[in-house]
């Protein structure tokens, strides 16, 4: 029989210690530091009031599925107090059942506190209050991860006396059953599924020096069952500012409320600070009150609500588009920056005033829509795109209507919707109507006119208004094309060049190809000329070259290269004038000889004879002296022989 092994003492001790450690880790609720109560509370714990970080540091952790129930809670209660709480993990929860109105207080009486809910944990209370009772009370709330949730069945009052920072990220959810407020501090949402739900109204900034900010980032949503007041004010004080930022690139943050009410003194700001250019982003919440709306960061935002807010609307970079007849408020002043676009869609909006240095487009509105400015219009070198049927004076056209004065300079980009062209009569086709004084100018882009059919339309000012007026264009005569080469004779040495120019009698408005009859191929020259040669638009010349090649042997005779204008491919594109151009490549002296062996009286049929060298007078005298000496020597020799 096999005996069972008995573990030695030291491994047994190790197993026991590991088991004890495991039991210790199962204690998922822990309250430490300057806190009441304090200790390891096990997997679930039910108690009365909890204070974490009374006058110094304290901590509360609920992890691993722990269940904590308490009455009211204070995280950082008094000066010097700092209470930090973490509820982490799926199934971990904290239920706060306060017998009074307030259940969860984070940072009060110059204390600071934080609450972090992560990885699917949850905290439920009847009302949450942060940074209250005195300045220097600081609060932090973080809700992060799918299924992580902070639920207040009543109100959420955040940043009452000093800064509160709330971060809702990566699918976290905060829900407030009734109304709520943001005083000092910020609320930031980011990530798909991240959400803040408000049962009724949300108030931002209730007193002087409050500058709350709500950042609604990529993929996140803020839902408000009632009105968002941006800002509100309490006790007759004047709020400084309150700002909402819509951010993101692919799925920008969404704000849905029954209405958005801008508070007094234009202190509320709504920034469309996203970069989504797809055109899919829509903002449907109706806006009222004296606020400011900015379009930034290059994104496209379509307003679809019934908007009547005053204040100002500035499109600095990106596009603001009308998605309903009342989307562009008639009570607000619009300003379009150099990189901004205002798109009226298919509607006919009325604007309070318009400063325009970017792009305004009406192209989606056919030919019947209008853009009306009830006050002043200022053109800051911007452009306006509108549709017109280019016909006679009764033709349909979109219009800019200015009930005040028109100033500055604006370019009108006219798109012709099917007009075949016709002669206008009277004033022409009305495109800009000014009830006040036209101090400024409207113009067409280069070349300063539009053509349709055989008619050319120009922009003319009549009184205070601007009209398109047409005149029939006579068919221009075809330009005459000629060719000449300079010089017309080359002496045959290598690389000597003649430049050949094809010239037009008048410049064409478009590139004009000219057909050529090219010189025959010959070893005595090369050419860069090809057919066709193109004379550029608004020019009268194009050139090519003929280059000489030195003669060798039998190729030494003079050669003529002929370049001529050929008829056009398109009838009447040009006419031919003048003779063909000729370049003579001359023979090089001393290299000729194609007529024979240079013998005979005629020098070989025209070849150049060889020259016989001659002697000068001094040479002849020297030769005579030498011959005389030789003769004298001969005579003396003969006498000696006798």
Q: pLDDT at position 234, please?
A: 56
Mean pLDDT along residues 190-199: 98
For residues 90 and 64, is the Cβ–Cβ distance under 8 A? no
| Structural domain includes residue 329 | no
Q: Which residue has the tokens 């739900």?
A: 197
* pLDDT per position as a tens digit, 509-559: 899 999 999 999 999 999 999 999 999 999 999 999 999 988 765 456 889
φ/ψ of 632, rounded to 5, equals -60, -40
Q: Which of 14-28, 426-440, 582-596 has the lowest mean pLDDT?
A: 14-28
Q: How far is CA 599 from CA 72, 424, 554, 556, 604, in A?
A: 134, 87, 17, 19, 5
Average of per-residue pLDDT across 441-446:
97
pLDDT at 237: 62
Nearest to 117 by CA among 92, 96, 98: 92
Residue 500 lies in a domain: yes
Q: Please list the residues that pair with 70 across neighbouring strands.
A: 96
Q: How far apart are CA 195 and CA 176, in angstroms?
A: 11
Q: Write the CB contacts of 345 (distance below 8 Å, at least 6 apart in sequence).
A: 302, 321, 322, 323, 327, 364, 365
Structural domain range at position 575: 480-585
Cβ atoms of 239 and 263 closer than 8 Å: yes
594 pLDDT more than 60? no
Under a CB-based contact definition with an 8 Å cutoff, are residues 486 and 581 in contact?
no
Average pLDDT value over all residues in the chain: 88
> Which has more pLDDT, 517 or 571?
517
Q: Is residue 530 part of a domain?
A: yes
**CA nearest 141: which of 171, 109, 98, 173?**
173
Is residue 426 scored above 50 in pLDDT?
A: yes
Is omega for the bond preceding 487 within 30 degrees of 0, making it cis? yes
Residue 238: per-residue pLDDT = 65
How many domains does the structure of the chain reveal? 1
Element at 295 (helix H, strand E): strand 290-295
In a domain, 448, yes or no: no
Q: How far apart are the C-alpha atoms of 370 and 386, rounded to whole Å?
A: 9
To 10 degrees, the CA torsion angle through 565, 567, 568, 574?
Answer: 70
CATH of the domain at 493: 2.60.40.1510
Q: Is residue 568 part of a domain?
A: yes
In this prediction, residue 620 has a pLDDT band, given cuts at 50, 70 and 90, of very low
Residue 418 located in a structural domain: no
Question: Residue 86's pLDDT is what?
Answer: 98
In a domain, 460, yes or no: no
Q: How far apart are CA 533 and CA 540, in angstroms?
A: 12
DSSP 397: B
Which one has a higher pLDDT value, 636 or 45? Answer: 45
Task: State the Cα–Cα distance between residues 261 and 290, nearest whole angstrom.
Answer: 8
pLDDT cut 90: percent of the chain above it:
77
* pLDDT recorded at residue 4: 41
Q: Taking a C-beta distance cutoff of 8 angstroms, is the pair 106, 130 a contact?
A: yes
DSSP states of 309-376: -EEEEEEEEEEEEE-STTSS-TTSEEEEEEEEEEE-TTS--EESEEEESSEEE-GGGTTT-EEEESS-
pLDDT of residue 408 exceeding 60, the answer is: yes
Those residues whose C-beta lies under 8 Å from the C-beta of residue 2, and which sit 6 or more positions away, are none
Q: What is the pTM of this model?
A: 0.73
Q: How far is 294 from 512, CA to CA, in rounded Å?
A: 50
**Residue 618 pLDDT class (50, 70, 90 cuts):** very low
CA atoms within 13 A on the CB side of 195: 15
CB neighbours of 452 closer than 8 A, spacing ≥ 6?
390, 391, 416, 419, 420, 421, 470
Cβ distance 364 to 343 under 8 Å? yes
Greatest extent of the chain over all pairs of C-alpha atoms, in Å: 176
> Do the Cβ atoms of 500 and 508 come closer than 8 Å?
no
Q: What is the pLDDT of residue 1?
A: 41
pLDDT tens digits, one per residue of 144-173: 999 999 999 999 999 999 999 999 999 999
238 is a domain residue = no
Express each pLDDT in 94-136 by its tens digit.
999 988 788 999 999 999 999 999 999 999 999 999 999 889 9
């Amino acid at each position: 029989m096999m005996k069972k092994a008995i573990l030695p003492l030291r491994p047994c001790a190790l197993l026991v210690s590991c088991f004890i450690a495991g039991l210790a880790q199962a204690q998922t609720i822990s309250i430490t530091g300057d806190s009441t109560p304090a200790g390891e509370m096990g997997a679930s714990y039910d108690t009365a009031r909890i204070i974490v970080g009374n006058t110094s540091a304290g901590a509360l952790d609920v992890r691993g599925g722990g269940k904590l129930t308490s009455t009211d809670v204070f995280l950082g209660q008094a000066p010097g107090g700092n209470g930090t709480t973490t509820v982490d993990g799926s199934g971990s929860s904290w239920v706060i059942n306060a017998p009074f109105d307030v259940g969860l207080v984070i940072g009060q009486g110059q204390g600071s506190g934080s609450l972090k809910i992560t990885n699917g944990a949850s905290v439920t209370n009847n009302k949450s209050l942060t940074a209250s009772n005195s300045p220097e009370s600081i609060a932090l709330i973080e809700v992060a991860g799918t299924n992580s949730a902070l639920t207040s069945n009543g109100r959420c009052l955040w940043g009452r006396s000093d800064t509160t920072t709330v971060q809702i990220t990566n699918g976290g959810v905060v829900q407030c059953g009734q109304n709520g407020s943001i005083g000092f501090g910020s609320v930031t949402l980011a990530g798909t599924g991240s959400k803040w739900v408000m049962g009724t109204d949300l108030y931002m900034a209730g007193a002087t020096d409050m500058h709350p900010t709500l950042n609604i980032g990529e993929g996140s949503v803020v839902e408000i069952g009632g009105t968002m007041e941006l800002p509100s004010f309490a006790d007759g004080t004047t709020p400084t500012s309150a700002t909402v930022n819509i951010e993101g690139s692919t799925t920008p943050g969404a704000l849905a409320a029954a209405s958005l009410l801008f508070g007094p003194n234009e202190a509320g700001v709504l920034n469309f600070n996203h970069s989504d250019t797809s055109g899919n982003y829509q903002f449907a919440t109706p806006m009222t009150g004296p606020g400011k709306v900015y379009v930034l960061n290059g994104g496209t935002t379509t307003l679809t609500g019934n908007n009547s807010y005053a204040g100002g609307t500035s499109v600095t970079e990106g596009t603001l588009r009308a998605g309903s007849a009342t989307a562009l408020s008639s009570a607000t002043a619009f300003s379009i920056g150099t990189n901004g676009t205002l798109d009226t869609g298919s509607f006919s909006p009325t604007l309070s005033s318009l400063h325009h240095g970017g792009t305004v487009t009406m192209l989606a509105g056919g030919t019947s829509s209008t853009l009306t400015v009830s006050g002043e219009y200022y053109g800051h070198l911007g452009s306006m795109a509108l549709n017109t049927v280019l016909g006679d004076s009764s033709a349909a056209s979109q219009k800019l209507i200015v009930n005040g004065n028109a100033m500055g300079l604006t370019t009108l980009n006219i798109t012709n919707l099917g007009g075949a062209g016709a002669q206008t009569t009277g004033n022409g086709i009305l495109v800009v109507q000014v009830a006040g004084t036209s101090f400024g100018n409207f113009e067409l882009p280069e070349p300063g006119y539009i053509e349709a059919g055989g008619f050319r339309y120009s922009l003319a000012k009549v009184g205070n208004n601007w009209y398109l007026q047409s005149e029939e264009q006579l068919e221009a005569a075809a330009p005459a094309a000629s060719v000449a080469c300079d010089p017309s004779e080359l002496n045959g040495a290598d690389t000597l060049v003649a430049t050949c120019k094809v010239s037009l009698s008048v410049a064409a408005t478009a590139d004009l190809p000219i057909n050529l009859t090219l010189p025959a191929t010959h070893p005595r020259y090369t050419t860069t000329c090809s057919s066709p040669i193109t004379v550029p638009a608004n020019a009268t010349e194009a050139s090519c070259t003929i280059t000489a090649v030195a003669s060798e042997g039998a190729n030494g005779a003079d050669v003529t290269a002929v370049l001529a204008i050929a008829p056009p491919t398109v009838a009447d594109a040009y006419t031919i004038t003048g003779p063909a151009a000729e370049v003579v490549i001359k023979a090089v002296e001393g290299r000729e000889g194609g007529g024979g062996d240079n013998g005979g009286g005629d020098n070989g049929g025209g070849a150049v004879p060889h020259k016989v060298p001659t002697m000068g007078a001094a040479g002849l005298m020297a030769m005579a002296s030498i011959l005389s000496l030789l003769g004298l020597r001969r005579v003396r020799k003969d006498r000696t022989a006798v």
